[in-house]
């Protein structure tokens, strides 16, 4: 690897993984890769289940990555090996009209990316690829979006045969393509947040994203004295997919009913909290709860971003009072997810309760689709040791489960590293 590449990797906090995958590629294919496509996972700090309602979200990219080591082939075949599950799959770029039933779940993302890139007119080349990463699977940290994004960079880079910078405008288009992969090849009708933050993330910044217009703003989120602590319940999110679609249907039902009194609305994003309170009794109880949560959550995201904009422009430090305000909004977000949207579970509630009772925790909430997965907490660095000890001990005592805790930094988005 060149000195320049080594510097880039150090800057991404991803050096050990990139070095390891290079060695594994060499062992698998008998020669080194040409480049590594790397995409981060994400944690959404506030704005859950608002993306598919045309609302606002505020995620950050985290320093956990999916890496794909790549070398272009002379033919039209794609030969892949997923190290973390020890599975291999290969396919032809000329026969992407259907996916064999025996294809591993992870391979669907690569097949989908290749198919949609070709459909859009992009040049796609055959590749040898080795895939690995440390984004926890099925934990609500968007391992699938990171895989789609890394695969997109892998195919685009191999097709161009050179390092071609991708503009931010092009990245938003690629995010939409990766979202289609989820919809059409994985069967998950997700919003566009995960793919967008994986592509557009910036170190020490959150992404304030309008999921309707796709307008976005990088908002400073430099945690000088705090860290992001993600706690994995280790509970499989078995209900997440089916309940996700139910919640989406309830929101759409709410819009349909409320449009009788609020003509012109097309999503919950169009409804102010004041207007909702005027007409909420017209809704069935369950629909009312779902709509209330989404409308209130959009307001919380806007307020949270406003609090962060108090960051000192000279030191980049976030005043304690701003972080306290942000934490209170995180807590309120979880309460709404638990009580109105009802996508939490006992284990998620337990982890947030434990965290909130620890001195030095600004706020804590579930993150992701729910019914398992992870919580996210903002923790003062002086409290990290106590936080990890209390969470591990109390959660295990009450559930018998050993939680996983990831201390994360706010990372840059997807990148390509050349060897």
Residues marked active site are found at 194
- Pick the closest to residue 199 from 267, 136, 155, 150 (CA basis): 150
Bridge partners (DSSP) of residue 379 are 227, 361
Distance between CA 407 and CA 385 in Å, rounded?
A: 11
- Pick the closest to residue 80 from 9, 15, 25 (CA basis): 25
Asked if residues 370 and 347 have their Cβ atoms less than 8 Å apart, the reply is no
Q: Would you call 8 helix, strand, or coil by DSSP?
A: helix
Asked if residues 367 and 44 have their Cβ atoms less than 8 Å apart, the reply is yes
Q: How far apart are the first and last CA of the chain?
A: 5
Report the run of H or E that residue 56 belongs to, with start and end: strand 56-72
- Pick the closest to residue 197 from 50, 369, 12, 412 (CA basis): 412
Distance between CA 259 and CA 266 in Å, rounded?
A: 8
Distance between CA 70 and CA 110 in Å, rounded?
A: 13
Question: Is the four-CA dihedral 386, 391, 396, 401 of positive or negative sign?
Answer: negative
Residue 165 neighbours by CB distance under 10 Å:
6
């Amino acid at each position: 690897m060149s000195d320049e590449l080594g510097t880039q990797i150090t800057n991404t906090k991803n050096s050990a993984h990139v070095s390891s995958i290079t060695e594994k590629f060499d062992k698998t294919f008998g020669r080194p890769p040409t480049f590594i496509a790397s995409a981060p996972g994400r944690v959404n700090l506030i704005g859950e289940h608002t993306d598919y309602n045309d609302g606002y979200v505020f995620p950050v990219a985290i320093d956990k990555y999916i890496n794909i080591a790549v070398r272009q082939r002379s033919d039209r075949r794609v030969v892949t090996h997923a190290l973390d599950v020890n599975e291999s799959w290969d396919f032809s770029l000329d026969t992407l009209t259907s996916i064999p039933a025996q294809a591993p779940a992870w391979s669907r993302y690569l097949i989908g990316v290749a198919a949609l890139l070709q459909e859009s007119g992009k040049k796609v080349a055959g590749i040898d690829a080795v895939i690995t990463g440390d984004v926890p699977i099925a934990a609500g940290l968007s391992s699938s979006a990171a895989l789609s994004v890394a695969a997109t960079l892998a195919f685009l880079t191999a097709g161009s045969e050179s390092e071609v910078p991708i503009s931010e405008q092009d990245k938003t288009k690629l995010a939409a393509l990766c979202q289609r992969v989820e919809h059409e090849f994985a069967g998950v009708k997700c919003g566009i947040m995960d793919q967008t933050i994986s592509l557009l993330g910036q170190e020490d910044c959150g992404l304030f994203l309008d999921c309707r217009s796709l307008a976005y703003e990088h908002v400073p989120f430099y945690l000088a004295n705090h860290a992001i602590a993600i706690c994995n319940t280790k509970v499989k999110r078995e209900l997440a997919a089916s309940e996700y679609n139910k919640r989406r249907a309830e929101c759409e039902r709410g819009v349909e009913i409320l449009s009788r009194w609020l003509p012109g609305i097309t999503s919950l994003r169009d409804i102010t909290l004041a207007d909702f309170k005027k007409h909420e009794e017209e809704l069935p109880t369950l629909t009312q709860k779902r709509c209330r949560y989404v409308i209130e959550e959009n307001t919380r995201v806007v307020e949270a971003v406003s609090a962060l904009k108090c960051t000192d422009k000279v030191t980049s430090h976030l005043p304690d009072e701003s972080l306290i305000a942000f934490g209170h909004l995180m807590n309120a977000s979880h309460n709404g997810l638990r009580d109105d949207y009802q996508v939490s579970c006992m284990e998620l509630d337990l982890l947030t309760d434990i965290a909130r009772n620890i001195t030095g925790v600004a706020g804590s909430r579930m993150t992701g689709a729910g019914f398992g997965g992870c919580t996210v907490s903002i923790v003062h660095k002086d409290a990290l040791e106590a936080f990890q000890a209390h969470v591990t001990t109390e959660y295990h005592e009450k559930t018998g489960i050993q939680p996983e805790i990831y201390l994360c930094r706010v990372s840059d988005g997807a990148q390509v590293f050349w060897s």
